[in-house]
Structure 1
Amino acid sequence: MPPHFSENQELLGDMETNKPYTTESRINSVDRPGKLDTTTSDAHHIAPSSSTAGFFQSPPQVLNQYEDDTALRRAMKLFLPHGVQEALKADLSAFGERVLTRQTLGWVLEAERNLPYVKSWDTWGKRRDELITSDGWKNLQRMGIEAGIVAIPYENSFQEFSRIYWCTKYILWCGSSAWVNCPSLIVDGVASLFREHLSDDTLGDERQVLQDAYTRLVSRDGEKAWTSGQWMTERQGGSDVRMTETVATYAPNCQSNEEEDAHGNPLGPWRLDGFKWFSSATDANMAILLARTQKGISLFYAPMRRALKEKDAMGFGTASNGVYIQRLKNKLGTKALPTAELEIKGMRGWLVGEEGRGTKEIATVLNVARLHNAATAVGLWGRGLGIVRAFARVRLVGRRPLYERAGFMRNLARMHTEYRANVLFTFFVSGLLGCAEQEKIAKMAGEQGKGVDKMGKLPNVTDTPMAVWLLRIFTPLLKGHCAKTGITGLQECMECLGGIGYLENDDMQFNIARLYRDANIVPIWEGTTDMMADDAILRVLYGKNRTEVMRALSKWVTEVLEQNAREGSDIKTVASWWTDFKQTLIDLPKSDIERHARDIMSRLVDIVQGLLLIIDAATDGNDVAQLVKECWFADKCEGMSLKPSSRRSSTNLQASDMRIVFRQAKLDPLGAKI
């Protein structure tokens, strides 16, 4: 044995071939330009590697997610008519390519390198509070706006299917957006809120102001479109706004009320003063914010800039509408997103909705935002899995491709199975929102009653009221579950690449570490996991609308169970979960509900996702969908049992895992299909 080999290496040998470990086998076991050094008497001595010589890993090729991600295509097939799928194919495929281009990923890198900062004072000591963001951030914002990341559901080109279209494109976008999708999230919620109010015939002087803002919020024109801030959080609490200290004073005779915003609209009769602890869209054109009036917490709209009657000495024609940036937050992730502490002094704005009912008004925004959060978690995880699939296609371990490692593929198949359940759930809730929105869209267009009963392809959802109640209970469930599993999923993806996965490298195509750190905000943003459990269980299932929600939920679950009664042990499993769930709601003392809210929420998520996987597999008998369902139920019911699963119908588990991940049982070492 050559002296540079340890005794342990010799005894261990080559675990892949069960042959002794030799220098020659080491050279030949991987695809690298190792050469024997014949200039010495030791024929087994290899030339040392250097910075330019030796093994270099062939770079993976991350594929277009629209083409490569089976979960997305299956969800589209389940929830969209064939004609709509065909109509969307070109746009989604092109966008899936564009988000991976060198230009787009270069903008992501620039946004990450050139972080936002505040220029507080000008040369002469006058306070400006000018927020500076990178060109990469601005270009990504424009790209998302022009791609319709907000506009799609408001254009409503595919009616009740428009939200499914939006969901697909949004998921493709998240991994390359550098979090410009945060302002988009807020804009979507605010536009939905304004649409409701613009349908009100009793709207007063604020109609033109809200209409102008709404038109800009839903525009695809990069020059015209607006983004919006959403300011709720103050120092004394996160999403708990009961102690709000920002104060709104009705002052219609104030001289500044005669002034205009930067676009020629009156500034509004309310004066706002206070301090906001987090603002995640500080570079926005407008904001909605909560403030306290004599009648309680109320919601207000305010532009960020006001017009000056004459340009100032520096040539500026506008000034801040009473908003001052104290500092930007230093965060774990979402680095390119400017999140600030804001002091508000004399900000002028308009009351939105009824005074004293601000929390009810902003709930519309939050529900849309929570769907965005879930889709963001799915989008980030989906990009991570795409990177892992690309890596597995080209990485060799010894003489074997990485995808032939049974343990690696078992874990990767589990991840894809859980991811697929999340995708189905996200599409289902998006479809519910798309159906529920049709009545509001018709009302705004003056066509009351049109489209009310159009439920798209949502399985076992019969009418708009049912969709609305299911949407109310499923939205917090979806956000709470997808946010947490997205983080754990991305951690696994990072680990799959070993040390490379942990690197904050400049190649944004493979930087899973960035996706992972960014994903950690999702369970916090717009309500923590505990808040989602409290909302779903305490406020909904034990709240004033309990009867209506449980009626809709029971009808949906029962009908799906009955229609799929032939699906064997899996449908029986869900039926038993449902029975236990209902009994828990009856038996559990009200004093213990909060303590067990997360567990109850998790069981209801299992019921919904299990049924969606059963529906998907039963729809067309697709063998991969069947394998995904079997794998998901095996993990839920048998966990990490060392015994072979009785639920896995395939005798070749390696081939089964390959089909779940790659859609086929065999690949060549370079990843080509066989």
Structure 2
Amino acid sequence: MPGVSATHEVTNQVPPLVGHDPIAGDVALAEACVRHADEATLTSLADLGAVAGSEQAREWGRLADENRPVLRTHDRYGHRIDEVEFHPAWHELMRTAFEHGLAGAPWAAADAGHRHAHVRRAVGYLGWTQVEAGHGCPVTMTYAAVPALRATPALAARYEPGLTATGYRSGLTDPAVKPGLVTGMGMTEKQGGSDVRSNTTRAVANADGSHSLTGHKWFTSAPMSDLFLVLAQLDEGVSCFLVPRVLPDGTRNVFRLQRLKDKLGDRANASSEVEFDGTTGWLVGEPGRGVPTIIEMVNTTRLDCVIGSAATVRAALTQAIHHARHRSAFGALLADQPLMQNVLADLAVESEAATALAVRLAAALDGGERAFLRLAGAAAKFLVCKRTPAVVGEALEVLGGNGYVEESGMPRLYRQAPLNSIWEGSGNVIALDVLRALGRSSESVAAVTAEIELARGVDARFDDAVKRLSAELGDPEGLPLRARRVAGLLAQCLQGSLLLRSAPPEVADAFCATRLGGDWGSVLGTLPSGVPAGRIVERSTIDPA
């Protein structure tokens, strides 16, 4: 067309990453699924994998993130409604997760005899939440509420069928008629944070067996959930309560949303401050035993912190490899240049180590390995979540300036990256919890030690790391000061053991040489000479169909 500039011909730009399968197409994840479950379990996730890699799902993730939840405290007539309005894309994400069994369904499946229900769910969650991580929060809390609610059989009988269902319907209504229920959590208060024993919310017993709660919760996630597990004080001490948004008689409970948090990331999900004023709740577990009761929920959400962080790392790695395989610079594809291969391979090693540990934890849940989970889950939560921001930041840099632009999706991953390290207790809280698990349970120590020892003698660098770990644990002097080092080394020894037993030799060798052997710089992309970086990257490549 005359007069139109021809300078905008697009060349050397990367095609959209769509039409791939982030579950079956991820070799490390697929192998972990088969290793801890079977081929049939992996095959059962084929439909979810196809959706997760589709252009439609990518668009749902973008729209949910860009259109933040909106607080509606009152209707047009002045009636208090305390609702949060979400974009339709949010509901599509939630519907997909629930229909594919990523919420409470595994508990019912396990009860029905499915031996690998939690591995299936973990693998699906790791693949699906790469689309958008924020909706994973209510999915996780719904999953985690079931074992906690079982502390009170009467409440479990009433609500568990809805919590383990695979239906999803938005809006507040009688839980008895909804195709599936969503759960939230309200633990922290502004004066205490992780120190929940300093909570001031009070509960008073009613004649009908319920309690009336009065107080203010500083962080209550997913406030449009149907049910919440919250902490409040009784004379016996901190206790756990089930608080529904809609009461059994169909009326709305008192649940006053004060404001939504303006967060760094996790923007698609609503996090709120809630005021209870005579709010009705039912005691879960024993009076004064609220912390141990809700810890059942917390330990399960901790598992998802590991899985979710592994998903964020994998999503960033996939974008980085895809970009490098289609972008040329200085006369060659980025993926063919040695230094870029080193960076991508280092990212891939980190991703595979996180994935292997995450799926192993899920297998422990299937196997009833409570002692193993208590210590390994805490250590994994510390290390994997703590490493995620640095890994995602390096992956973003692979895209250069394009990665710093919102359209790439990488800034969303970068904002999301620190969340799981903060959720339920930040780094120091979790590191100290590792020490508690070490000190209180010889069964936990024995279970984790046995897992690590399965790889003893395979690699000298791994053996040396295990000796260092033993020396750290054997020196009680100043142990709290060294809690982070102990927690991190414990998780790395677990990862090393898993990789030495299951990953290709080049992956395990790179991990041991860097994470355990000390030949690792202060930045990623410093794998030693001789590591076949190209083969490691190829293993982590997910090709669109």
Match in the other structure for 2:51: 98
> Does the residue aligned with 2:433 lie in a helix, a strand or coil?
helix
> Does the residue aligned with 1:350 lie in a helix, a strand or coil?
strand
Hey, what's the Cα distance between the residues in 1 that align with 2:24 and 2:77? 56
Amino acid of the structure 2 residue aligned with 1:495: E
Q: Judging changes above 3 Å, is the alpha-carbon distance between structure 1 residues 155 and 495 closer, same or farther for their aligned structure 2 residues? A: same
Hey, what's the Cα distance between the residues in 1 that align with 2:117 and 2:262? 37
2:160 equivalent among 214, 228, 231: 214
Amino acid of the structure 1 residue aligned with 2:203: A
Match in the other structure for 2:533: 657
CA contact (8 A) 2:14 2:323 kept: no
Amino acid of the structure 1 residue aligned with 2:52: V
2:480 equivalent among 566, 571, 594: 594
Post-superposition offset of 1:153: 4.3
Hey, what's the Cα distance between the residues in 2 that align with 1:573 and 1:95? 39
2:391 is the counterpart of 1:489: yes
CA contact (8 A) 2:24 2:42 kept: no
Q: Judging changes above 3 Å, is the alpha-carbon distance between structure 1 residues 178 and 523 closer, same or farther for their aligned structure 2 residues? A: closer
Post-superposition offset of 1:237: 1.9
Match in the other structure for 2:353: 421
CA contact (8 A) 2:151 2:293 kept: no
CA contact (8 A) 1:495 1:501 kept: yes
> Does the residue aligned with 2:356 lie in a helix, a strand or coil?
helix
- Mapping for residues 243-642 of structure 1, pairs under 5 Å: 243-252=198-207, 269-306=210-247, 319-436=251-368, 467-505=369-407, 510-537=408-435, 539-543=436-440, 545=441, 547-561=442-456, 565=457, 567=458, 570=459, 572-589=460-477, 592-617=478-503, 625-636=504-515, 637-640=517-520
Hey, what's the Cα distance between the residues in 2 that align with 1:492 and 1:184? 29
CA contact (8 A) 1:288 1:302 kept: yes
Post-superposition offset of 1:341: 0.6
Name which structure has the greater RCO, CA cutoff 8 Å, separation 6+.
2
Q: Judging changes above 3 Å, is the alpha-carbon distance between structure 1 residues 327 and 580 closer, same or farther for their aligned structure 2 residues? A: same
Q: Judging changes above 3 Å, is the alpha-carbon distance between structure 1 residues 272 and 381 closer, same or farther for their aligned structure 2 residues? A: same
Percent of pairs identical after alignment?
Answer: 27
Q: Judging changes above 3 Å, is the alpha-carbon distance between structure 1 residues 634 and 560 closer, same or farther for their aligned structure 2 residues? A: closer
2:68 is the counterpart of 1:115: yes
2:114 is the counterpart of 1:159: yes
Post-superposition offset of 1:349: 1.4
Post-superposition offset of 1:367: 0.4
Q: Can you list the C-alpha shifts for 1:211-256, whole angstroms capped at 9, x where unaligned?
A: 221111110022411111110010012221011111000021xxxx
Hey, what's the Cα distance between the residues in 1 that align with 2:157 and 2:261? 33
Q: Judging changes above 3 Å, is the alpha-carbon distance between structure 1 residues 663 and 228 closer, same or farther for their aligned structure 2 residues? A: closer
Match in the other structure for 2:193: 238
Q: Judging changes above 3 Å, is the alpha-carbon distance between structure 1 residues 416 and 119 closer, same or farther for their aligned structure 2 residues? A: same
Hey, what's the Cα distance between the residues in 2 that align with 1:214 and 1:672? 39
CA contact (8 A) 1:288 1:299 kept: yes
Q: Judging changes above 3 Å, is the alpha-carbon distance between structure 1 residues 491 and 293 closer, same or farther for their aligned structure 2 residues? A: same
CA RMSD of aligned residues (A): 2.6
Q: Judging changes above 3 Å, is the alpha-carbon distance between structure 1 residues 178 and 428 closer, same or farther for their aligned structure 2 residues? A: closer
Post-superposition offset of 1:73: 2.2
2:15 is the counterpart of 1:59: yes
> Does the residue aligned with 1:234 lie in a helix, a strand or coil?
coil
CA contact (8 A) 2:254 2:278 kept: yes
Q: Judging changes above 3 Å, is the alpha-carbon distance between structure 1 residues 172 and 530 closer, same or farther for their aligned structure 2 residues? A: same
Q: Can you list the C-alpha shifts for 1:423-465, whole angstroms capped at 9, x where unaligned?
A: 11111111111111xxxxxxxxxxxxxxxxxxxxxxxxxxxxx
Post-superposition offset of 1:178: 4.5
Q: Judging changes above 3 Å, is the alpha-carbon distance between structure 1 residues 110 and 319 closer, same or farther for their aligned structure 2 residues? A: farther
Match in the other structure for 1:68: 25
Post-superposition offset of 1:57: 1.4
Post-superposition offset of 1:399: 2.1
Q: Judging changes above 3 Å, is the alpha-carbon distance between structure 1 residues 174 and 54 closer, same or farther for their aligned structure 2 residues? A: closer
CA contact (8 A) 2:393 2:414 kept: yes
- Mapping for residues 1-40 of structure 1, pairs under 5 Å: none
Hey, what's the Cα distance between the residues in 2 that align with 1:352 and 1:641? 49
Match in the other structure for 1:190: 145
Counting matched residue pairs gives 526
> Does the residue aligned with 2:23 lie in a helix, a strand or coil?
helix
TM-score (norm 1): 0.74
Q: Judging changes above 3 Å, is the alpha-carbon distance between structure 1 residues 152 and 551 closer, same or farther for their aligned structure 2 residues? A: closer
Post-superposition offset of 1:56: 5.3
Amino acid of the structure 2 residue aligned with 1:367: N
Compare 115-124 and 295-304 and name the one that shifted more. Answer: 115-124
> Does the residue aligned with 1:306 lie in a helix, a strand or coil?
coil
CA contact (8 A) 2:182 2:226 kept: yes
Post-superposition offset of 1:641: 7.1
Q: Judging changes above 3 Å, is the alpha-carbon distance between structure 1 residues 103 and 376 closer, same or farther for their aligned structure 2 residues? A: same
Unaligned stretches of 5+ in structure 2?
170-178
Q: Judging changes above 3 Å, is the alpha-carbon distance between structure 1 residues 51 and 288 closer, same or farther for their aligned structure 2 residues? A: farther
TM-score (norm 2): 0.91
Q: Can you list the C-alpha shifts for 1:308-356, whole angstroms capped at 9, x where unaligned?
A: 7xxxxxxxxx553111011111001111111111111111111111000
Hey, what's the Cα distance between the residues in 1 that align with 2:286 and 2:70? 37
1:78 equivalent among 6, 30, 35: 35
Match in the other structure for 1:125: 78
